[in-house]
Structure 1
Amino acid sequence: MATATTPAAADVEMVEVSELRRRSKPSDRVPSSSSSSPGPPPPPRRDGEEEEEAAASVERAFADRPVPTWREQLTVRAFVVSFFLSIMFSVIVMKLNLTTGVIPSLNVSAGLLGFFFVRLWTAAIEKVGLLRQPFTRQENTVIQTCVVAAYDIAFSGGFGTYLLAMSERIAGQATEGNNAQNIKNPHLGWIMGFLFLVSFIGLFGLAPLRKIMIIDYKLTYPSGSATAYLINGFHTPQGAKIAAKQVKKLGVFFVLSFFWGFFQWFYTATDDCGFHKFPSLGLQAYKNTFFFDFSPTYVGVGMICPHIVNISVLLGGILSWGIMWPLIAKKRGSWFSADLPDTNLHGMQGYRVFIAIAIILGDGLYNFLRMIILTTFSLISQTKKKNASTLPVSDDGTATSTAAISYDEERRNEFFIKDQIPWYIAYGGYAVVAAISIGTVPQIIPQLKWYQILVAYIVAPILAFCNAYGTGLTDWSLVTTYGKLAIFAFGAWSGASHGGVLAGLAASGVMMSIVSTAADLMQDFKTGYLTLASPRSMFISQVIGTGMGCVIAPCVFWLFYNAFDDIGISGTDYPAPNAAVFRSIAILGVDGFSSLPKNCLNLCYIFFAAAVVVNLIRDLVPKKVSKFIPIPMAMAIPFYIGTYFAIDMLIGTVILFVWQLVDRANADTFGPAVASGMICGDGMWTLPQSVLSLAKVKPPICMRFLSRRTNDKVDVFLKTLS
């Protein structure tokens, strides 16, 4: 049996901060299923089992409810609700992706809203006597799986990373790699086609290994387990009451956040106007990006992210914009030309981008090697404890452990191996999708050759297994780490003269799609295992959700891209920081270090080593100490885009901290719902804002803040006009 320790992940409900992606954690705030629905008398007990163990059983609470077949779990109402929720969450994730790249866990919101809307649906139908099938936890699992698969495309699809990095807008901010063969501007048609070609293959690669990962190795998959605990809790009488209260809280803050966004819009006649330009900490601090921009989104993000992440982001902002950049700016004319604008990669922007990249790569490489070591030792431990016959590729066996297993585990094993996904469908699907992709992706991106894609698809299942196994152990999905490795490898393979920058970015997309989807699928299998949802319904739901995402996410991105003409430009409302980072990594991979300004490489070495050392210290010291050590990845985010969102997140974390001190139970129960309402309301305001922008409707008022001296000059000027 695999026992997993989660050094930095066990106490962290993770944000997707480029490299790291932790989505949710098992929580004791979900009421025990058995406490509210005792179910029928338990079956005969084995010798040595305690009555307390029976009382804690989840499946005994549901023993009187029949488990629907896999076809009954896939209902029309489930996919209708999933479709509309996918649109909403895709808009939210896209906005976060294009602003700061910090994306919190939205799984709880997806499961909660799916439960709420289908309950409304079934209640309405039941009143008129037309309800044929009750709403079950298995159907709830299908909805959550479909929604998460769909909105995950808004993140892993590269709209804030590799796809946008291919554009002329991002390339124009650098002097290298911006020739025609290294540029491909976004267009709805080719983006949608590219995503359909690369997003499905990861679903087939690891499907046959689900029994090994879930039953034999007993990997925890904290995010999948957390979602299952929530869904099981929702479907008890007490859990349903709490879920209704959570939805009410979410709805209230959704409305408040939406109308706050609407109110703010009236004062943003130009880019320099509005509450989001309020110099709340003073004008000098504002120039160094230290200000509160009144964003409900990032206050909500701060409430969802763990305190150490929020503190790490703030420390990174203080270190960079408060200390380093002002000091480096004094070297203007010595280290770099005084004539260069701050947005040029040979000037100040070079230090901001490449030092951030050094931290990201140091953190990512350390965690990549750590995950490989953990996986290797865990696999060795597994093989020592079990016979070789317990490691089949097929999934038609039964649990091999001879030790006594609990009632819950026995019941879950029975249903998990009941509806098999035939191996020939999994492997055949992988081969067919790979063949189609190898033949057609080079037609979309000629710089990436067919044999390079073939190599990627040969290597990808191994990397996908490592990532899925590591995610099961620690809940860390190192998707963008694999993407950055692909940029270096395939960019250098193609070379600068053959479109290496574009080839590296495209290869990154291929690799990220496979590795991300495989880990997500295994998380969903874990959720299905704990809710008795069929693996077959989970797989089909993931396929349908991925298909939805391949349509919805490009359309949402296209709306943003056409409505806001400053996407990807540093210093604007939508700087898409990860796109510039990905392009800069591609340039480094092709051209080497020649593009770096003076002394930048030395600083990169220092911060790369510092990221490794800090991570090493976090792993070596006791947990009670490590939880106070900042996370290098989180510190790297403000290096490039500024500190304003860190102030918002700090306010969010302070609100939650005080709430927990005053009333821990209510804070744990309703905190995520309040935060999700703030994020969803502000995010959904972006849709009408985009429509107004496309219709050329301008806000009527400009609220701008001036220094007293500047204001006096304006007053004098206005008097001359009167």
Structure 2
Amino acid sequence: MQISRSPAMRDLENESKEIERVEKEELQEEVEEDTKILQPWTKQITIRAVIASILIGSMFSVIAMKLNLTTGITPNLNVSAALLAFVFVRTWKKLLQKTGIVSIPFTKQENTMIQTCAVACYSIAVGGGFGSYLLGLNKKTFEQSGGFSTVGNSPSSIKEPGLGWMTGFLFLVCFIGLFVLIPLRKILIIDYKLTFPSGMATAVLINGFHSRGDKMAKKQVRGFLKCLSFSFFWGFFQWFYKAKDDCGFSQFPTFGLKAWKQTFYFDFSTTYIGTGMICSHIVNLSLLLGAVLSYGMMWPLIGNLKGEWFPADLPESSMKSLNGYKVFISIALLLGDGLYNFIKILRVTLINVHGRLKSRNPDSAVARVSQDKTLNDLKQDEVFLRESIPMWVGAAGYITLALISVIAIPFIFSELKWYYVLVAYIFAPSLAFCNAYGAGLTDINMSYNYGKVGLFVISAVAGKDHGLVAGMAGCGLVKSIISVSCILMQDFKTGHLTLTSPKAMLLSQTLGTFLGCLVSPLSFLLFYKAFDIGNPNGEYKAPYAIIYRNLAILGVQGFSALPKHCLQLCYGFFAFAVGINLVKDFTPKRIGKWMPLPTAMAVPFLIGGYFAIDMCVGTLIVFLWHRINSKKAELMVPAVASGLICGDGLWIVPSSVLALAKIYPPICMKFLPA
């Protein structure tokens, strides 16, 4: 039975076909226009782009370092880097125009290059171990982890931070990551069509900047600059009232003095509010849940058992007292979540790779490409493949740097023997591929978990005399290779979608890595000299330093490092982390989306709830903004959040200089009970 179509229906179909035809013609014209103005890769890297990359990368390194040394949680700042690059070059051009100088056009390829370089730079500050495995080797962390009374802790396991050895180690372990996956970039980006969500989101933003016109851009720039100025001067104002660690607005007892003693207060940090605006709602709520569960319930209860569960005369920082429960339960949550996701993503990776290999058919592949890919997709692929990077570059670079590292790293860490380094470099390419493939599917970079596996294995094999240092250094070696290679693939995805040359992307990443290896140790030592880093009662707690050192101790001596009943609690929280993930994956989405993230919950278990409250204020601002005006919120939230973070980050530099010059705030604002 056939249904006859009315004239109105036929007109509607003809109209829709005409609209589709016009859209295709417009898309083709846009792609052709992009192709006409597309510059060779040598011209996509400009002097102003290099200057902007250095300034933005350096500033973000300081910001990331502060987050590393306070909470250990650093949001993805890729979008902020792209926005700041756009603001910087637009401001540069306007200043030149006022002086009568005509500058070259600002393209999305140049914007992508600056973003790539800046992200590569600050990624070294995030993943270079300054708040975890490298800092965990210093004397203060040695004493907090039990000192000489702990098996595996010895004077030889202490290595104080130094500019020379830190910079050398970073150059050895980070640069090699650039060469691991170069031969596989076509497979990961084009053949497997992996999304790399963060890289794609950044590309969408950059493409939007250069197509929406000046009106939208001006709004974002104004919002960014207003929030940056407010954040900077607010940090300056707060400084006057902070003569000691427990003074100032950052210790304001918002919910009363009893809550303040349990770390529940709003500390007026624009960095954490901005971070909360960038992070998803579930991350911020998970942090708050972890704070309520630990400092609100568990630690007061376990503290009352002093003398029963642990000796009453032990200092609070001892691993055999309450601090031991804080550290090891945090580790249990991290390991449960990490191990589950590690196995899950490895399984997804293997299933996907096996399926693609099994169904590989050249004819069907060609047909599929012609059907599924638009003209724009084909143009992106053409630009991505036009300037190929020879396979021998990746192979030669990897082998050469691996040989240098095998010889040089044992001179920095004598406990990490050359054959441990060699074995790590043999397995690293396959691990890097698995991690990059998983990140392309899920947007989760699992390099930290690969690093922890390396830490446990090397610590156990090296033994109690050398295992602690060997494990921590080996963790950094494995994690850095895998992380840098994954970040490069993510940026390749951004370049693929913005029609940026892969050669320009690789050079930008190399420049950013070089800059990061220089700037990150300098910014770390600025904090290390100016502030009390690693003080569990201060602002800069550096929670992951003690966690990583105790992971290494656990690898050396096993469960004997745990205080009384701590093992049972660790089992419970490990199972809790796995259970939460199972519920999230195997229940309907409406239920799974409300499940907390165990990794986010683990951080306040160790350092308290104050920053979780700040970040929840950020998420509340975003929630209300979307309810009031969703379109404006989508446009302005990245700009406002970036301004808040960057303004506070800029204030860090003068405040550090004042501290180094022994210039202290004149007032201590403190609250006492009546």
After TM superposition, give the deviation of residue 59 of structure 1 in Å.
4.7
Deviations 1:79-131 (A, max 9, x none): 11100111111110000000001111211121111112222333444566654
SS state at 1:271 partner: coil
The alpha carbon displacement at 1:229 in A equals 0.8
Residue number in structure 2 paired with 1:83: 54
**2:461 is the counterpart of 1:493:** yes
The alignment status of 1:380 with 2:347, answered yes or no, reads no
Task: Compute the displacement of 1:592 (Å).
Answer: 0.7
CA-to-aligned-CA distance 1:597-639 (integer Å, 9 cap, x gap):
0000000001001100101110111222222111111111100
Question: 2:502, 2:560 → 1: CA distance?
Answer: 51
Aligned: 1:164 with 2:135? yes
Aligned match of 2:431:
463
Question: Which string of whole-angstrom CA distances, capped at 9 and with x for unpartnered residues, describes residues 418-471 of structure 1?
Answer: 111111111000001111111101101101011100001111111110110011
Q: State whether residues 86 and 151 of structure 1, in contact with CA within 8 Å, keep that contact through their aligned partners in structure 2.
A: yes
Match of 2:450 in 1: 482
Are the equivalent residues in 2 in contact too, given 1:200–1:546 (CA < 8 A)?
yes
Matched, 1:703 2:660: no
For residue 60 of structure 1, report the CA deviation from its aligned partner.
3.4
Counterpart for residue 545 of structure 2: 579
Cα displacement (A) at 1:404? 5.6
Query: Any stretches of 5+ residues in structure 1 without a counterpart?
Result: 1-45, 392-397, 709-722
Alignment of 1:367-446 (within 5 A): 367-387=341-361, 401=369, 403=371, 405-446=373-414
Aligned AA for 1:571? N
Q: Report the CA distance shift for 1:58/1:609 in structure 2 as closer, same or farther (over 3 A).
A: farther
Alpha carbons of 1:242 and 1:344: their partners in 2 closer, same or farther (altered >3 Å)? same
Alpha-carbon distance in 1 for matches of 2:18, 2:357: 30
What is the aligned-residue identity percentage? 53
**8 Å Cα contact 2:255-2:265 kept in structure 1:** yes
**What SS does the corresponding residue of 2:333 show, helix, strand or coil?**
helix
Aligned twin of 1:24:
none
Partner of 2:324: 350
1:394-439 Cα distance to aligned partner (Å, 9 max, x none): xxxx999454631101111111111111111110000011111111
- Closer, same or farther: CA 591–54 of 1 in aligned 2, 3 Å: farther
CA shift at 1:133, angstroms? 3.3
2:504 pairs with one of 537, 555, 559: 537
Instruction: Give the match's secondary structure for 2:31.
Output: coil
Question: What pairs up with 1:38-53 in 2 under 5 angstroms?
Answer: 51-52=22-23
Residue in 2 that maps onto 1:569? 535
- Counterpart among 200, 218, 241 of residue 193 in structure 2: 218
Indicate whether 1:551 and 2:522 are aligned. Answer: no
Q: What is the match of residue 20 of structure 1?
A: none
Q: For 1:386 and 1:339, locate their aligned partners in 2 and report how far apart those are by CA, in whole Å.
A: 67
**Bigger mean CA deviation after superposition, 213-222 or 60-69:** 60-69
- Map 1:326-337 onto structure 2 (within 5 A): 326-337=300-311
Paired amino acid for 1:202: G
| Residues 21-61 of structure 1, C-alpha deviations (whole Å, 9 max, x = no match) | xxxxxxxxxxxxxxxxxxxxxxxxx9997555566779538
TM normalised by structure 1 equals: 0.88
Code of the aligned partner of 1:331: L
- The answer on whether the counterparts of 1:358 and 1:604 sit within 8 Å (CA) in structure 2 is yes
Name the SS of the counterpart of 2:539 in structure 1.
coil
Q: Which SS does the other structure have where 1:152 is aligned?
A: helix
- What SS class does the counterpart of residue 255 from structure 2 fall into? coil
Counterpart Cα distance in 2 of 1:193 and 1:575: 26
Q: Is residue 92 of structure 2 the alignment partner of residue 118 of structure 1?
A: no
- Alignment correspondent of 1:680: 646
Extract unaligned runs of 5+ from structure 2.
1-16
Distance 1:241 1:516 in 2: 38
The equivalent of 2:470 in structure 1 is 503
Displacement of 1:384 in angstroms is 2.8
The separation in 1 between residues aligned to 2:178 and 2:367, in whole angstroms, is 24
- Paired residue type of 2:433: F
Residue in 2 aligned with 1:624?
590
Deviation at 1:589, TM superposition (A): 0.6
Deviation at 1:341, TM superposition (A): 2.1
* Aligned equivalents of 1:111, 1:661: Cα separation in 2: 26
1:416–1:529 Cα contact (<8 Å) kept? yes
AA at the equivalent of 1:705: F
Mapped partners of 1:696, 1:602: distance in 2: 48
Do structure 1's residue 260 and structure 2's residue 231 form an aligned pair? no
Q: Which residue of structure 2 aligns with residue 339 of structure 1? A: 313
> Counterpart of 2:539 in structure 1: which amino acid?
D
Q: Give me the whole-angstrom Cα distance separating, in 2, the residues matched to 1:216 and 1:390.
A: 13
Alignment equivalent of 1:198, drawn from 173, 178, 199? 173
Partner residue of 1:525? Answer: 492
**Deviation string, structure 1 residues 184-206 (Cα, Å, up to 9, x no partner):** 11001110111011111111010
- Decide which of 182, 185, 193 is 2:160's aligned counterpart: 185
SS in 2 for 1:192: helix
Instruction: Write out aligned runs for 1:611-690 (5 A).
Output: 611-690=577-656
Q: Which residue of 2 aligns with 1:323?
A: 297
Judging changes above 3 Å, is the alpha-carbon distance between structure 1 residues 648 and 699 closer, same or farther for their aligned structure 2 residues? same
Q: Distance in 2 between matches of 1:56 and 1:389?
A: 27
* TM-score, scaled to structure 2: 0.94
Q: What is the match of residue 449 of structure 1?
A: 417
1:472 corresponding residue in structure 2: 440
In 2, Cα distance between equivalents of 1:535 and 1:358:
41
Distance 1:644 1:408, change over 3 A: same
Structure-2 residue corresponding to 1:242: 216
Q: What do the CA deviations read for 1:532-587 (whole angstroms, capped 9, x no partner)? A: 101111011100110000001111001111111x2012121100001111111011
Post-superposition offset of 1:591: 1.1
Rounded to whole Å, the distance in 2 between the matches of 1:201 and 1:64 is: 33
Residues 148 and 650 (structure 1), Cα distance of their counterparts in 2 relative to 1, 3 Å cut: same
Residues of 1 paired with 2:239 and 2:167: CA distance? 31
Count of equivalent residues:
654
Local SS of the residue matching 1:416: helix
d(CA) in 2 for partners of 1:551, 1:506: 19
- Residue 13 of structure 2 aligns with which residue? none
> Given the superposition, is the C-alpha separation of residues 596 and 399 from structure 1 closer, same or farther in structure 2, using an over 3 Å criterion?
farther
Distance change (3 Å), C-alpha of 1:164 and 1:88: same
CA distance in structure 1 between the aligned counterparts of 2:91 and 2:440, rounded to whole angstroms: 34
Question: Does residue 1:173 correspond to 2:140, yes or no?
Answer: no
Q: Cα RMSD over matched residues?
A: 2.1
Q: Is the 8 A contact 1:220 1:473 kept in 2?
A: yes
Three-state SS of the structure 2 residue aligned to 1:103 is coil
Residues 240 and 438 of structure 1, relative CA distance in 2, 3 Å threshold: farther
C-alpha change, 1:545 and 1:578, in structure 2 (3 Å) is same
Q: CA deviation at 1:178?
A: 3.1
Could you tell me whether the CA contact under 8 Å between 1:112 and 1:243 is conserved in 2?
no
The alpha carbon displacement at 1:244 in A equals 2.4
Q: Is 1:98–2:31 an aligned residue pair?
A: no
Query: C-alpha offsets along residues 487-510 of structure 1, whole Å, 9 cap, x if unaligned?
Result: 10111111112x211110000111
- Name the stretch that deviates more: 238-247 or 52-61: 52-61
Query: What is the CA–CA distance in structure 1 between the aligned matches of 2:421 and 2:327, rounded to whole Å?
Result: 29
Distance in 2 (alpha carbons) for counterparts of 1:607 and 1:372: 23
Question: Hey, what's the Cα distance between the residues in 2 that align with 1:164 and 1:673?
Answer: 33
1:479 alignment partner AA: S
In the superposition, relative to structure 1, how do residues 251 and 58 fare at CA in structure 2: closer, same or farther (>3 Å)? farther
Whether contact under 8 Å (2:27, 2:376) holds in the other structure is no
- How many angstroms apart in 2 are the aligned matches of 1:270 and 1:200? 41
How far does the alpha carbon of each residue in 1:134-167 deviate from its partner, in whole angstroms, 9 at most, with x for none?
Answer: 2211111111000000011001111111110111
